[in-house]
Amino acid sequence: MKKLAIIATITAGVIGLSACSPDEDPEVVVETSTGNITKEDFYEEMKATTGESVLQQMVLTKILEDRYEIDDEEVDAQIDMYKMQYGEQWEMVLMSSGFADEDDFRNELRMQMLQQEAMIEDIEVSDEEIETRYERLKEEVEARHILVEDEETANELKSQLDDGANFSDLAEEHSTDTNSAVQGGDLGFFSSGDMVIEFEDVAYGLEIGEISEPVASDFGWHIIQLTDRQEIESEIQDLDEIRENIRKEIAMGKVDESTAMEKMNQIIEDANVQVNIDGFEDIFEMQEPALQ
């Protein structure tokens, strides 16, 4: 199953607005013929609607920036990758995703990268894993699969395939991956890092035409058939240049969601957060921070 990178939009800077004291004239930020809107009105409305999520995001960013460092060059490299991927549609992708501009996207991306540093901090990646991933980057493979919910069903379908059943027909009838099922299970060509590691390890180890034994992943049970493989024409950087990026990619594939949430909660607890805004005093005790 191809992994998707999803970037959520967070409105920032709202809590920085300061409410006026009772002894001061309210500062008008919008004037209309039917009435005015003061800074305090605006602050209270924004606090009531998006204030909680914005405050959580601001505090979490402050904490993570103190513990981890993300270089501007790292952020620029990620943005350049997205620009190459989307080409002329880049500006439209930003707008349709809810970002005001590239700087807005950059801030959110930096936050995601800080969270990733926290999540992979304790995950070990061996040199062998890195070297294997690097070698696989030189080649892409084409495969099809049948995805089912349980091992028993997977074994039954594998037996039918061994007896000569048509792979495409079984995929269309039984696969829970509806996107590929209508194509007879075809996933097209993919490279290392595009699939969950359990799937990738099996697919890259098959001969063309070979059908795998059932293999488990977080998505269910797969039966995989390799249909083709080819070298990637574009040159890749030397291993030493991209070793750290590969290490992070592999580590992210090992992240357990519940463990990552516990880690983020512990980081916030260790920071001794005290909120002095009426109505928000307990938000870090009552709710878990959202991982992007």
| Same domain, residue pair 26 and 111 | yes
The lowest-confidence range among 24-28, 77-81, 189-193 is: 24-28
Count of the separate structural domains present in the chain: 2
Task: For residue 148, list its beta bridge partners.
Answer: 221
Q: How far apart are CA 83 and CA 77, in angstroms?
A: 10
| Same domain, residue pair 168 and 223 | yes
| Same domain, residue pair 193 and 262 | no
Query: Mean of the pLDDT values across residues 16-29?
Result: 56
Assigned domain for 176 exists: yes
Task: For residue 32, list its beta bridge partners.
Answer: 35
Assigned domain for 266 exists: yes
| Same domain, residue pair 171 and 89 | no
Exposure letters 8-22 (e unless 16+ CB within 10 A, then b): eebebebbeeebeee
Q: What is the pLDDT of residues 84-131, one digit of tens each?
A: 888 899 999 998 988 888 988 998 899 899 999 999 998 999 999 999
Strands (E), the chain: 28-32, 35-38, 139-148, 186-190, 215-217, 220-231
| Same domain, residue pair 267 and 183 | no
Token pair for 49 = 């609607």
For residues 39 and 221, the model is more confident at 221
Task: Please report the pLDDT score of residue 220 as a whole number.
Answer: 96
Q: What's the CATH number where 199 sits?
A: 3.10.50.40
The boundaries of the domain holding residue 88 are 14-123+256-286
* Beta-carbon count within 10 A of 112 CB: 19
- Crossing angle for the helix pair 51-67 and 39-49, nearest 10 degrees? 80
140 with 190: CB under 8 angstroms?
Answer: yes
| Same domain, residue pair 154 and 206 | yes
Under the banding of pLDDT at 50, 70 and 90, the label for residue 37 is confident
The lowest-confidence range among 44-53, 170-179, 219-228 is: 44-53
Task: Please report the pLDDT score of residue 25 as a whole number.
Answer: 64
State the pairing for strand pair 139-148/215-217: unpaired
Q: How far apart are CA 159 and CA 165, in angstroms?
A: 9
Assigned domain for 63 exists: yes
Q: Classify residue 243 as exposed, middle or buried by CB count within 10 Å of its CB (0-12, 13-18, 19+).
A: middle
pLDDT tops 50 at residue 263: yes
Task: Please report the pLDDT score of residue 24 as a whole number.
Answer: 57
The lowest-confidence range among 23-27, 158-162, 247-251 is: 23-27
Query: Mean of the pLDDT values across residues 141-156?
Result: 96
DSSP string, 146-210: EEESSHHHHHHHHHHHHTT--HHHHHHHH-S-HHHHTTTTEEEEE-TTSB-HHHHHHHHHSPTT-
| Same domain, residue pair 31 and 110 | yes
As a whole number, the mean pLDDT across the chain is: 85
Establish how many alpha carbons lie within 13 A of residue 116's alpha carbon, considering only the half-sphere containing its beta carbon: 20
Percent of residues, the chain, with pLDDT higher than 90? 43
Query: Mean of the pLDDT values across residues 38-59?
Result: 81
Q: Is 133 helix (H, G, I), strand (E, B) or coil?
A: helix
Task: Please report the pLDDT score of residue 287 as a whole number.
Answer: 46
pLDDT tops 90 at residue 8: no
Task: Please report the pLDDT score of residue 261 as a whole number.
Answer: 86
pLDDT tops 90 at residue 4: no
Assigned domain for 83 exists: yes
pLDDT tops 80 at residue 285: no
pLDDT tops 80 at residue 170: yes
Under the banding of pLDDT at 50, 70 and 90, the label for residue 246 is very high
Under the banding of pLDDT at 50, 70 and 90, the label for residue 18 is very low
Query: Mean of the pLDDT values across residues 249-253?
Result: 89
| Same domain, residue pair 70 and 148 | no
| Same domain, residue pair 20 and 118 | yes
